[in-house]
Each structure stands twice: as structure tokens, then as C-alpha cells.
Amino acid sequence: MLTMLWSGSAAWIPSFFARTFGWAPAEIGPWFGSAVMVCGTLGLPLGGLLAERLKKRGLSDANVRVGIISGVALLPLGVAAPLMPTPFAALGLYAAFVFFSSLPFGAAAAALQEITPNQMRAQVSALYLFVVNLTGIGLGPTIVASITQYGFGADDALKYALSITAGVAGLLAAVLLALCLPHYRTAVRDAEAWSRN
């Protein structure tokens, strides 16, 4: 859901600025590219540091909690950004959106490694990447386009499709990750038992 939210939004953000504010690609490229470069680069390692800090506080499910924090933050940012009245207000919210979109992905990879037996890590990582790419990158942009075309039937309604997709995907991501917390804690305990044997 988090990948779907990011990919669905990122694929259509340049078109959103063109359709909503009349910006040409040469205008949005440097602004949004800079936001991705700075905020995305900061979010990834800070997500890992946040997970480590939560783990030091005794939370064995810290890696999953970073994903929940991301989903909760992305929900209002993703809903509000495309509805902003000015391009720079939208850009500011999208910069924060990029930061929180990149926050959980280092922790997600660590979460899988933490609970997977050594002999299965390559297969589990490959399956994870397959699912994330297929559902997130494959479906995210398509969902936004489908809501725009079939839901609203108007190209200038892209902003509403982006907002709806962010609202649904952000909420689902946070709820699904919260539901997996007790199961993840059990998996961590099982992994610790395996490593002792």
C-alpha cells in the first residue's frame, strides 16, 4: 500500500502540476526533482535510525512501526497536497510527502531480514520485491489514472484522484501494518529462538 501510494502519486505529480497550475515539464522538473533528491535521500536513512531508536526502547516491532508512522503521515499529506490552491503550497506538502514515502523502505527490508531464517532470506527478499513492484509500481499509477478517467471522466480531476488514492492507500497501509504488529513480534521471538539453536 505504501509503494502503491508513492508510485501512484509520483507518476502523476508532473501531470498534476501541468493540469492544475499550467506548469510546463521544464518548470516542475527542477522543483519536484530537488524535493525528491533532498527529502527522499533524508527519509531513507532517518527511517532506519528511527527504527533503531524505537528498538532501543524495547519495541521489537520497531521496523513495522516505522511503516505505520509513514502511513499515518502520508494520509493527510497525500490527501491535502493535490488540493492546495497554489503550486508552491502543493510542492511544500509534496516535499514532506516524499520524505515520509521514503521513511519506511529501509526498515521494511530490515524487518524481513530480521524474521527470516538465513536459508530463506534470498527467496523471501525476491518475493517481497516481486509483490512490491507488481502491486505498488504496477497498480499505483493505474489506479490514479482509472479514478481520473472512469470515476470523474475529466483530465482536470486528476487532483481528486490523487487525493482519493492517497486517502485510501495511506489508511489501508497504517491499518494493515498495525494489524500485523502482534504477529511480527511473535516472528521476532521465533527468529531469536532459531538463532540460539
In the chain the domains, ranked by start, together with CATH numbers, are: 2-196 (1.20.1250.20)
Please tell me the distance from the alpha carbon of residue 119 to that of residue 194, in angstroms, as a whole number: 12
Residue 97, all three cell numbers: 510527502
Residues 6+ apart with CB under 8 A from 113: 121, 125
Kindly state the DSSP code that residue 120 receives in the 8-state scheme: G
Per-residue pLDDT of the chain (197 residues), as tens digits, is 999 999 999 999 999 999 999 999 899 999 999 999 999 999 999 999 999 999 999 999 999 999 999 999 999 999 999 999 999 999 999 999 999 999 998 898 889 889 998 888 899 989 988 988 888 888 999 999 999 999 999 999 999 999 999 999 999 999 999 999 999 999 999 988 876 76
Supply the DSSP string of 111-175, one letter for each residue. Answer: HHHHHS-GGGHHHHHHHHHHHIIIIIIIIHHHHHHHIIIIII--GGGHHHHHHHHHHHHHHHHHH
Please tell me the distance from the alpha carbon of residue 50 to that of residue 109, in angstroms, as a whole number: 14
pTM for this one? 0.91
